[in-house]
Amino acid sequence: MLTITNTSENGSHILALEGEVDASNSVMIDEAIQKLIGDGSKSIVVDGQKLEYISSAGLGVFMSYLEDFEEKNVDFKIFGLPEGVLEVFKILGLHQLMNIYPTKEAAFNS
Q: Does 59 bind another protein (CB under 8 A)?
A: yes
Q: Does 64 bind another protein (CB under 8 A)?
A: yes
Q: Does 67 bind another protein (CB under 8 A)?
A: yes
Beta carbon of residue 108, minimum distance to another protein (angstroms, whole number): 26
Taking CB under 8 A as the criterion, the residue among 3, 8, 60, 75 binding another protein is 60
Q: CB-wise, 40 or 93, nearer to another protein?
A: 93
- Sequence-ordered list of residues with C-beta below 8 angstroms from that of 34, at least 6 positions apart, any chain: none
Query: Which H or E run includes 29?
Result: helix 26-38
Q: Cα(72)–Cα(39) distance, rounded to whole angstroms?
A: 12
Rounded to the nearest angstrom, the gap between the alpha carbon of residue 9 and the centroid of all alpha carbons in its chain is 16
Q: Does 94 bind another protein (CB under 8 A)?
A: yes
Q: Does 96 bind another protein (CB under 8 A)?
A: yes
Three-state secondary-structure class, residue 23: coil
Q: Does 100 bind another protein (CB under 8 A)?
A: no
Output 31-36 pairs: Cβ under 8 A, ≥24 positions apart: 32/4, 32/6, 33/61, 33/65
Q: Which residues in this chain contact another protein in the complex, by CB under 8 A?
A: 23, 30, 52, 55-57, 59-61, 63-64, 66-67, 84, 91-94, 96-97
